[in-house]
Structure 1
């Protein structure tokens, strides 16, 4: 007469139960968060691709300023007032992102991202920049960051040019009331362009999806460990094999 198969039994271990209840929802939520980030990045790429295919328009004629819209701007640089965004690393080299103030033909002002320039490693001197003289036409695309910059403290601007970590939008519009609510990223062929190969996104949708798989896999492993520690499933399997 053959032995009856052992019934599945549970003997809850409160420590593993508590750990699972606390950790499992976090792992699952992180996985779904990474999937939502992947969707956001894909939507951004799709919008950029669609808008970059449009012909350039005069920024002075716009009423809305969507990111990645190709534009041109007529006016002249204010070569005395500009910003050097600090600690911008390119290929392991320390440098600055140069943000210039551009005065449009109608008197309004526009921030222009000229690009990257190498810096003095000792930080004793600022880079010397060349500026186009007189009225010029710039070409590029619009971009306004929606992310809140991280800062250890509020920066107090002093003099010109200003070396800062970030630009504070509210303070900018207080100081420059006629400033447009966007910025122009110069194309590499535009006058005054420096090194302009700006990365559209720092993490691809595929990487976010990969991170999501990792979080879900960790959640699955935790669930398996919980089942093993709180049941007789291993002993049942061993008896079946025997």
Structure 2
């Protein structure tokens, strides 16, 4: 029996085109979303790695012996988490309340005050910690020691980026702020202080000073990465399933060639 070249061509398998027909619209959706999902997963893994390095640096530096405040000026390039020994007194007349800070669901503020270090003669901006502030009609009660104090603190460097709210100009003290800008604070106070924020360790003059080093742990970033990769895998699996299913449905409806 002889077959024409045209008949043989019709009956020959058409490879991937016959077994997989996803359609144009699903293909465009996958081409747009799949790289994005994978990129988000990789970004979360990179963030987890950055947070682990940050935690390791913080642990090492916060276990070291505190340095004198006079040495801070030489560490401006990388001062984060360096422990500092302070000896002097607070300026109780110029308090700042860092707003929108909560602990265990309770609204509050962090209290920042200028501190004069006797040994170095430097003015430093010290964050004494968190206090509850549930009644917004009255300022929170802040007690400031009048005597000289010997304190340990560490340098806090805020992470770059993030949404920042602008502070409204306010008269009088204490001033309510939504972000810490040391240069602007020293200008308002009228003193030449170091452009750093120091956070008190637990002890004398400290309020609630249990600060986390990072807001989002490396484990959470890894969990987010797993979610993004799972979504990309689900999208790819659905794309393959629909493409194969559509190809089979089309094959059932196509006219079969005459075997003669």
TM-score w.r.t. the length of structure 1 is 0.86
Paired residues for 1:44-63 under 5 Å: 44-62=54-72, 63=74
The total of aligned residue pairs comes to 231
2:228 is equivalent to residue 215 of structure 1: yes
- Greater CA deviation, 151-160 or 126-135? 151-160
The Cα of 1:160 is off from its aligned counterpart by: 1.0
Measure the CA separation in 1 of the matches of 2:178 and 2:107: 13
Q: Contact 1:13–1:229 (CA<8 Å) still a contact in 2?
A: no
Aligned to 2:141: 128
Closer, same or farther: CA 31–167 of 1 in aligned 2, 3 Å: same
Measure the CA separation in 2 of the matches of 1:91 and 1:100: 24
Per-residue Cα deviation, 1:184-210 (whole angstroms, up to 9, x for no partner): 211112x21111111111221122111
The Cα of 1:158 is off from its aligned counterpart by: 2.4
Higher strand share: 1
2:25 is equivalent to residue 15 of structure 1: yes
Aligned to 1:239: none
Structure 1 segments, 4+ long, off by >6 Å, are none
Closer, same or farther: CA 31–183 of 1 in aligned 2, 3 Å: same
Aligned to 2:95: 82
Closer, same or farther: CA 168–53 of 1 in aligned 2, 3 Å: closer
Measure the CA separation in 1 of the matches of 2:215 and 2:14: 54
The Cα of 1:148 is off from its aligned counterpart by: 4.1
Paired residues for 1:73-222 under 5 Å: 73-105=86-118, 106-119=120-133, 121-148=134-161, 150-175=163-188, 178-189=192-203, 191-222=204-235
Which segments of 5 or more consecutive residues in structure 1 lack a partner in the other structure?
237-242
The Cα of 1:167 is off from its aligned counterpart by: 2.1
Closer, same or farther: CA 53–151 of 1 in aligned 2, 3 Å: closer
User: Cα RMSD over matched residues?
Assistant: 2.4
Higher helix share: 2
The Cα of 1:83 is off from its aligned counterpart by: 0.6
Partner SS state of residue 147, structure 1: coil
Aligned to 1:240: none
The Cα of 1:233 is off from its aligned counterpart by: 8.8
Aligned to 1:25: 35
Q: Contact 1:73–1:137 (CA<8 Å) still a contact in 2?
A: yes
The Cα of 1:57 is off from its aligned counterpart by: 1.2
Closer, same or farther: CA 149–180 of 1 in aligned 2, 3 Å: farther
The Cα of 1:96 is off from its aligned counterpart by: 1.1
Closer, same or farther: CA 13–170 of 1 in aligned 2, 3 Å: farther
Closer, same or farther: CA 193–200 of 1 in aligned 2, 3 Å: same
2:81 is equivalent to residue 64 of structure 1: no
Closer, same or farther: CA 148–218 of 1 in aligned 2, 3 Å: closer
Q: Contact 1:60–1:73 (CA<8 Å) still a contact in 2?
A: no
